[in-house]
Amino acid sequence: MIGALFPQFVGPDTGNLTDKTILNFTFATMCFFNHVFLALFGGRMREFLRSDHIVKRVRHTLGVVFIGFGAMLATYDR
């Protein structure tokens, strides 16, 4: 059941059927457009991401992001 994806938003004893239906249709619509985007631009993205320059830049960017996550975790104060 797709409603299992939304437990933090809609509890089993709260919300009405209309709210749950709108939430589910919104999610399904977003998934549909995501798949359409990937189908239309997947080939171009593959060509773009095969470039050695782009791969190097993506790796460096992700490295910086994960170092930042680590720094945030190390300095996190409860």
**What local confidence, expressed as pLDDT, does residue 21 receive?**
81
Does pLDDT of 11 surpass 80?
Answer: no
**54/46 Cα distance (integer angstroms):** 11
Structural domain includes residue 61: yes
The whole-number average pLDDT for the span 17-32 is 85
Residue with the larger pLDDT of the pair 22 and 11 = 22
Residues 6+ apart with CB under 8 A from 24: 2, 3, 6
Residue 76: count of CB within 10 angstroms of its CB: 7
This prediction's pTM: 0.52
Residue 63 is part of which domain span? 44-78
Ramachandran quadrant class, 15 (left: phi over 0; alpha: psi -120 to 50; beta: rest): left
Number of domains in the chain: 1
pLDDT at residue 62 greater than cutoff 70? yes
Q: Is residue 10 part of a domain?
A: no
